[in-house]
Amino acid sequence: MAGSVQRRQVEAGKPYEVFHTDCPARDVVDHVTSRWGVWVLISLRSNSLRFYELRDSIQGISEKMLAQTLRALVQDGLVWREVEPTTPPQVTYGLTDFGHDVGEPLTELFDRITQRLPPRSE
């Protein structure tokens, strides 16, 4: 089943067995679909943001959870991190090409959901 979700061939390695608990792809999926991972990817979909801007854009997230989520997404290669050596340091985050690829279906899902919900009453 080449190209299926269950087994995907990487260029020069062995296939990922995504249904096995020790598959590294599962960790990435867990980070993306975590409570806050989805919101970080959606928040960064159109532009890079500084840490505090990202925190303010995602209501309900604590600084600790944002930092942990960003750390995991940076380690997975979905988000890049740039530190400006100022006092205090200014840290900016944005999506890598991989992050854009993964975030695109999430954005489409988000858009479909919000288009189908009944109008909000104010």
Q: Give, for all 122 residues of the chain, the pLDDT tens digit.
A: 334 333 344 445 678 888 888 888 888 888 998 899 999 999 999 999 999 999 999 999 999 999 999 999 999 999 999 999 999 899 999 999 999 999 999 889 988 999 998 888 76
Question: Which has the closest alpha carbon to 51: 99, 103, 77, 88?
Answer: 88
Is the whole model's pTM more than 0.85, yes or no? no
Look at the alpha carbons of 108, 114, 51, 29 in this order and tell me if their dihedral is positive or negative: negative
Look at the alpha carbons of 25, 55, 81, 111 in this order and tell me if their dihedral is positive or negative: positive
Which residues have C-beta within 8 Å of that of residue 29, sequence separation ≥ 6?
18
